[in-house]
Structure 1
């Protein structure tokens, strides 16, 4: 039930001894009596109906009981909520406590609360007045020049005008009703609101993208930090291993030189003994007085015993600086590989159709070995029957690539990359000129870089696992002893004519009887 129904229109408080006028309005008995005592005629304070005879005021007992019940069951918060707060439009009619206005009248130029607005709802003359939402400074809605309501809008000058302004100063301008202009502006507002909403959505999506990138960046940073631990651990181990090999090499060279020096000293002492004997013979010869005896023994005693040309034998101190340079160069190459191979690891498989008739490839395509008997080749086989090479399924045309091959227990093998011409063409010597870049191991002893004239490689230890790194754009192919953490060989400025394939030769020639496989290994690295 509306709380205003229980408040007197005069004092705006809950009715006390409510009485009713003949026109049907209710007031506090004291409020209505005071109002009539101060007026010349008796009128209803709300609808202004005049009563020629002063009505007898009797308390409406039934209504009072309703009001009392309302007093007992309702709080005063409703009344407080109707009071005007700072910044709100107040009722211009209220005296004492100002109530919050609910409408403003552009004809009366006043704002009314819900109670004092009642005449505009009931009186026929007032019902035609233009009511709007409550606003302050109603005088701003009146034309200062003509004192008329600003109910029109000039689109050219974008200002509100009155009817007289439209007929005079703005007669040639496009003029519309203020409501129409408001509706048009409202359409523009809705469009702009949609544009703003789309901008908000776009920026929220961008925020989502940024958050996603931030999350990915964080995850990537964490992965890279984990990867850096492994890289630097490998680098430190490589440096330690390089230093150990360097110390061992220097010590071996030192021991060898010491043994050489000892042999030289022994040889020199032997020659000194022989020369001392010769000196004694010459002294004895010089004491012979018989000239015939002197001449007979002269040739034998005068001849100097055979001796080495010691001026051509180096005895200077050995310089080990070259050992250090070589070790540091190998360590640098390994460190460079560790850094660059982070995103270069490939899952290589061997193509069975590329293997010759003496080779067999495992089902998982990770191993190739020499088989005991010769197989009949299928028509789709890429190589000739006597070939001992097998190529990978994947061809390399760009980027960096890295894989590792197990060569444990093998005495003969070759690894590298080769062009499709070398793989599919007639057998040719494996060298860069013919489209292959690789290294080989023969008869358990000799390691060689596969050039036109195979270049011998001096390795400190036998590799059990060989890493192959290819940088297609740089034209570089490098081979590493992954356990010793040293570089075996590097081909630079490789002129790759087209797509190149990893190649594997498990036996070098069909005469080699070993059956141990070349095996593609899993490269464990933090990605």
Structure 2
């Protein structure tokens, strides 16, 4: 009797974690795994210097370079959407309006998304978010409030959430970056890194505010000096005195203009610093 053909779920299931493939990579023997799963397996074989396929046991030397299988990744994303659509009841909520983040799974009318998943790289309405949790019971996904800037929170190299802040390179990285490019670096969680950056920028903002106040006081003093000089010049009619007064007045006007320009430039810093620090560092991911 012929064997039954494997289902889509079996084909796109990682043999190591037994969950649907996440960032699929196909190794030289043709078997496909999650990037994180096969990386962990081969990390344990580093001392031997010989790397094997967990399924067929074919060996490789040196350690093969892993690259994303884009075709499999696209099919996996379609399967995820199909499973969530099948598990969700027909929604009856209002559609997304201007400025709202749309649900990526809704067909036809797009509902307002309430959550975005950093693992699936999709945003979900309330109905499809519940279905997302129902069809992914074995893996805890990184979920945040719905955002239209989902890609800013994802590693461009590995397409994984930016969960780590590297103090060595002052950049946000994913877990796969941590075991390769940033191995051995001084790192903290993204939330801890954001708090550190907020503290640092807060001190910088205070210094800038203090500098603004100092320049404003200098401006006031310069204005008083200019007025005093005008009065003094009017009272003196001697040619040399008038020429000297004009030269001094010109110098003060130049200083006044310079101080004015610096004050304007500094005034642009405080609001952006405090407003963007929470969202620019690691995309504000917790």
TM-score by length of 2: 0.40
The structure whose residues are more often helix, as a share, is 2
The structure whose residues are more often strand, as a share, is 1
